[in-house]
């Protein structure tokens, strides 16, 4: 089977690899003795999370949360909901959110507020990509991979209609 729309490589896997290695070094420096709780946002962050945690050589826990942003097609709308929440008590924990891409910032600013209400000791954000030109709500990215152009990206966990998550490179769809 072949894809209806052909993906064109924007960020090759070797470059992603280097970025993940750099982010892992930054995270290691800050969290080695903090009993870190890494919180991935499903589904998009699952590939990034898997690569990132395998570069960290200290004790940590992994959790996932699923959010819905009432997205229709490629646009994120204004309102975010927790679809699959946390079964873990965050009180006193150092939480690092792991996200594939920050676009408008609506999802992340919602989640950061939500986690702070759960009395985490600290909440920081690691994002592999930043579509900074699209920002509508300010979000501080503590560990940032790459700035990306305002194009719809797929691969390395990112989907279009649930397809393409398995591509090893970050790609754009050709028309
Ligand atoms: P935000 O709330 O920042 O607008 O949206 C963030 C979420 O929108 C991301 O976690 C991701 O699920 C989705 N998103 C934003 N830009 C892209 C993109 O270029 N490609 C894909 N596949 N999803 C995107
Ligand atoms: Mg996402």
Find out whether the beta carbon of 128 lies less than 6 Å from any atom of ligand 1.
Answer: no
pLDDT at 158: 98
Residue 85 — pLDDT band, cuts 50, 70, 90?
confident
Question: Does residue 127 belong to any structural domain of this protein?
Answer: yes
Residue 20 — pLDDT band, cuts 50, 70, 90?
very high
- Mean pLDDT, range 131-156, rounded to an integer: 96
Ligand 1 centroid to Cα of residue 33, in Å, is 32
What's this model's pTM, rounded to 2 decimal places? 0.93
- Mean pLDDT, range 7-36, rounded to an integer: 97
Indicate which atom in ligand 1 lies nearest the CA of residue 160.
Answer: 22
pLDDT at 74: 52
Give the C-alpha distances (Å, rounded to integers) separating 141 from 6, 47, 99, 132, 145. 31, 19, 10, 11, 9
pLDDT at 80: 82
Q: How many domains does the chain have?
A: 1
Burial profile 21-52: b = 16 or more Cβ within 10 angstroms, e = fewer: eebbeebeeebeeeebbbbbbeebbbbbbebb
CB 56 within 8 Å of CB 27: yes
Question: Does residue 22 belong to any structural domain of this protein?
Answer: yes
pLDDT above 60 for 150: yes
Question: Does residue 7 belong to any structural domain of this protein?
Answer: no
Residue 21, domain extent: 13-68+82-152
Ligand 2 centroid to Cα of residue 172, in Å, is 16
pLDDT at 81: 81
Six-digit token string for 127: 């994002």
pLDDT at 79: 80
Question: Does residue 147 belong to any structural domain of this protein?
Answer: yes
CB 34 within 8 Å of CB 90: no
Nearest to 112, CA basis, from 131, 134, 90: 90
pLDDT at 76: 52
Residue 130's CATH number: 3.40.50.2020
Strands lying side by side in the sheet with 36-42? 81-84, 60-68, 36-42, 94-102, 122-130, 143-147
Six-digit token string for 31: 């969290």
Of 5-9, 122-126, 132-136, the poorest mean pLDDT is in 5-9
């Amino acid at each position: 089977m072949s894809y209806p729309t052909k993906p064109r490589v924007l960020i090759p896997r070797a470059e992603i690899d280097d970025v993940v290695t750099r982010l892992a070094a930054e995270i290691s420096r800050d969290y080695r003795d903090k009993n870190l709780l890494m919180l991935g946002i499903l589904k998009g962050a699952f590939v990034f999370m898997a690569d990132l945690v395998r570069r960290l050589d200290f004790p940590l826990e992994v959790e996932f949360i699923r959010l819905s942003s009432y997205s229709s097609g490629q646009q994120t709308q204004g309102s975010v909901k927790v679809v699959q929440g946390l079964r873990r008590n965050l009180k006193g924990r150092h939480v690092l959110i792991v996200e594939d891409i920050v676009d408008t910032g609506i999802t992340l600013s919602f989640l950061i507020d939500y986690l702070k209400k759960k009395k985490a000791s600290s909440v920081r954000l690691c994002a592999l990509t930043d579509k900074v030109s699209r920002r509508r709500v300010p979000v501080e990215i503590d560990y940032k991979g790459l700035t990306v152009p305002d194009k719809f990206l797929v691969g390395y966990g990112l989907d279009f209609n649930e397809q393409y998550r398995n591509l090893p490179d970050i790609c754009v769809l050709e028309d």
